[in-house]
């Protein structure tokens, strides 16, 4: 068994191995390139491929870290700077499985520790990611991590809702009544940019609004719709959704902290649900969710991930 850095000619073999192991997280080569290689924080030395003696791919570890608090993607925070992230990890079932896992994890941990990181998370990375944690159905991967000193520190969930539910219009109407007559839901347009800047500055959610976000604020594209909740001349909430058939995507959603508890988030969510349903979507999905918020609006849990972390003892 040997480790090498990932190169372009390896990608087809790596993706085939990936899809053979991670049955609940299959990827295409295009997705693999986009999420891994096109990540602004990608460093070739942080990705290791394990090979058997006969030249087959038997494992992968792919780390990512930020060299400055904001990172090259502009989406990091100071409190995250001590962290490296293992955004992909797999080991094929074979007699040398433990040896392969030892080598891949040691390489990832060494890389992050040498960069001064104190912890290695699996994964909870706010840049481009394949999954926020390890799907709990991938029990063998979870067991490998636990056996190498990684602690299970939390659960993240995906949620979904049936947009054919006939009660959605009535629930949307009630949410509008609760929000009050001074609020209005608007589809994003560039004239809202000055008010949106004030909204973004107050919340400082860099994972959604990284440095230079204004240049990417084109939320009227067919594949991506942003809704704004405005009260008077102030933006108090924002949400995105992706129309699709049969499934639409939703998220994120953000309401000013000082305005929470007034039903504004539910109003934005239900408005997105109604619009996506009217556009032909049968159901809607949201990942890495604030589960209680969605369940209160009629959603249900469809997937769970375990988040692991290991202390490295570095000094970021």
Stretch 211-233: mean pLDDT: 76
- Judge whether 2-155+306-311 and 164-281 match in fold: yes
Q: What is the mean pLDDT of the chain?
A: 93
22-35 confidence digits (pLDDT tens): 999 999 999 999 99
What residue spans define the domains of the chain? 2-155+306-311, 164-281
The HSE-up count of residue 293 (CA atoms within 13 Å, CB side) is 23
Residue 158's pLDDT band (cuts 50, 70, 90): very high
CATH of 164-281, one of 3.40.50.970, 3.90.110.10, 3.40.630.30, 3.40.50.1240: 3.40.630.30
**For residues 27 and 31, what is the distance between their CA atoms, to the nearest angstrom?**
6
State the pLDDT at residue 102: 97
244-256 confidence digits (pLDDT tens): 999 999 999 999 9
Helix (H) or strand (E) segment spanning residue 65:
strand 57-65
pTM: 0.88
191: CB partners within 8 A, 6+ apart: none
Closest CA to 92 of 35, 43, 19, 159: 19
Domain 2-155+306-311 CATH assignment equals 3.40.630.30: yes
Give yes or no for residue 213 having a pLDDT over 90: no
Give yes or no for residue 316 having a pLDDT over 70: no
User: How far out from the chain centre does Cα 195 lie?
Assistant: 27
């Amino acid at each position: 068994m040997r480790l090498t850095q990932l190169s372009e000619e390896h990608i087809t073999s790596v993706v085939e191995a990936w899809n053979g192991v991670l049955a609940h997280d299959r990827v295409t080569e295009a997705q693999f390139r986009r999420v891994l290689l096109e990540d602004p924080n990608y460093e070739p030395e942080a990705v290791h491929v394990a090979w058997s003696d006969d030249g087959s791919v038997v494992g992968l570890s792919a780390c990512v870290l930020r060299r400055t608090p904001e990172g090259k993607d502009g989406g990091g925070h100071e409190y995250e700077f001590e962290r490296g992230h293992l955004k992909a990890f797999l080991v094929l079932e074979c007699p040398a499985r433990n040896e392969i896992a030892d080598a891949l994890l040691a390489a990832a941990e060494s890389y992050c520790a040498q960069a001064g990181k104190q912890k290695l998370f699996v994964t909870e990375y706010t840049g481009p990611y394949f999954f926020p944690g390890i799907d709990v159905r991938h029990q063998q991967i979870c067991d490998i991590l636990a056996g190498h000193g990684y602690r299970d520190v939390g659960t993240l969930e995906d949620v979904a809702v049936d947009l054919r539910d006939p009660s959605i219009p009535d629930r949307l109407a009630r949410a509008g009544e609760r929000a009050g007559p001074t609020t209005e839901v608007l589809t994003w347009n560039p004239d809202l940019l000055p008010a949106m800047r004030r909204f973004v500055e107050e919340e400082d959610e860099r994972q959604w609004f990284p440095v230079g976000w204004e240049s990417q604020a084109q939320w009227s594209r067919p594949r991506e719709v942003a809704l704004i909740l405005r009260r008077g001349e102030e933006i108090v909430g924002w949400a995105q959704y992706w129309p699709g058939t049969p499934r639409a995507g939703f998220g994120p959603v953000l309401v000013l902290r000082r305005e929470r508890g007034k039903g504004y988030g539910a109003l934005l969510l239900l408005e997105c649900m109604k619009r996506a349903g009217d556009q032909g979507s049968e159901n809607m999905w949201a990942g890495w969710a604030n589960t209680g918020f969605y369940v209160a609006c009629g959603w249900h849990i469809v997937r769970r991930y375990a988040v692991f972390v290991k202390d490295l003892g570095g000094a970021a």
